[in-house]
Amino acid sequence: MVCSGRRVLHSRRVTPVGPGPGRARAAGPCEPGRVSLGPLGNDDATPPATPQPPEPPPRPPDAPPAVVLIGVSGSGKTTVGALLARRLGWIFADGDRFHSPENIAKMTALKPLSDADRSPWLAQIGTWIDDEGVAGQACVVACSALKRVYRDVLRDGRPQVRLVYLVVPSERLRTRMLAREGHMFAADMLASQLAILERPIPDEGVYQVKSMPTAAQTVDAVLRVAHLEQFLAPGAEQPADSGF
Ligand SMILES: Nc1ncnc2c1ncn2[C@@H]1O[C@H](COP(=O)(O)OP(=O)(O)O)[C@@H](O)[C@H]1O
Ligand SMILES: O=C(O)[C@H](O)[C@@H](O)[C@H](O)[C@H](O)COP(=O)(O)O
């Protein structure tokens, strides 16, 4: 990953999309749209409230699309994600920038993160997606999201989220990680990621894209498989083959 911690791209607002993979956040008891039945045994002049079926939860506010590229370290989330965002004119963030200093220190010390370590990190990424949505900004984020429960955190209440899993043979992952410079996440940690990886199964609604010989080709495949071509503006930046 290239952890610049800044917005890689800003650009045009896009038309919101309808529900994609994901689940709507349920309304809480105090949220609008809930029917109060009033106190039971009411014997004053007020007629008792007529029980009514609960209303469906309010539809989440429309938000522009958010693409989350998932996969183990070295699968190309950062490289492909940044390029994808550039093609679309959307904003990009690398999930690593949301890690706490403690998490970074742990990974640097070759210790795999626990569920508890990842929980606030996933919440931060979700908040970032929410904030971009409120700002009307479509976005791409790279986040390993190795377990289904992590993916559920990211998509819960965010129907605009499209998860894209980058599929790369494990022997190629290690080669890539060994060649990658200036990254705190060592190739030796790959085994721990593969050990806990829960590959998305078909019913999960995760788009799966095989890594192509170059990142630019993989971006083309992501655009096609995840139905993102509709968001390419006429005259959008054409793929510049980066040579890897
Ligand atoms: N086809 C490809 N797609 C993406 N990255 C590739 C490809 N071929 C080689 N690479 C290299 O593999 C590495 C992938 O690292 P990165 O994008 O940081 O992955 P991740 O964010 O998933 O850890 C980069 O150094 C990149 O240059
Ligand atoms: O869940 C984890 O174990 C890590 O936090 C994971 O999210 C990430 O993969 C590493 O930080 C390495 O970063 P790259 O995936 O960008 O190589």
State the pLDDT confidence band at 156, using cuts at 50, 70 and 90: very high
Question: Which of 72, 79, 212 to mutate to test ligand 1, by most ligand atoms within 8 A of the CB atom?
Answer: 79
Q: Whose CA is nearest to atom 3 of ligand 2?
A: 113
Q: What angle do CA 17, 226, 132 make, to 5 degrees?
A: 45
CA nearest neighbour of 234 among 65, 16, 88:
88
Here the tokens at position 61 are 């506010």
Of 159 and 6, the one with more pLDDT: 159
Ligand closest to the CA atom of residue 166: 1
- Please determine, for residue 157, whether its predicted confidence score (pLDDT) is greater than 80: yes
Report the Cα 158 to chain-centroid distance in Å. 10
Q: Whose CA is nearest to atom 9 of ligand 2?
A: 73
Q: How far is the CA of 59 from the centre of ligand 2 (A)?
A: 33
CA–CA distances in Å: residue 163 to residues 118, 148, 184, 202: 18, 11, 25, 12
pLDDT at 171: 87
Provide mean pLDDT across the span 207-212: 97
pLDDT at 239: 58
Q: What tens digit of pLDDT does each residue of 108-147 get?
A: 999 999 999 999 999 999 999 999 999 999 999 999 999 9
Ligand 2 and 144: CB distance under 6 A: yes
Q: Do residues 218 and 76 lie in contact, with contact meaning Cβ atoms separated by under 8 Å?
A: yes
Measured distance CA(241)–CA(1) in Å, rounded: 19
Q: How far is the CA of 121 from the centre of ligand 2 (A)?
A: 11
pLDDT at 13: 46
pLDDT at 185: 82
What share of the chain has pLDDT > 70, as a percent? 71
**What does 124-191 look like in DSSP terms, one character per residue?**
HHHHHHHHHHHTT--EEEE----SHHHHHHHHBT-TTEEEEEEE--HHHHHHHHHH--S-SS-GGGHH
Q: What angle do CA 117, 179, 95 make, to 5 degrees?
A: 30
Here the tokens at position 133 are 């949505």
Measured distance CA(55)–CA(167) in Å, rounded: 41
Q: Do residues 38 and 49 lie in contact, with contact meaning Cβ atoms separated by under 8 Å?
A: yes
ipTM of the complex as predicted: 0.92
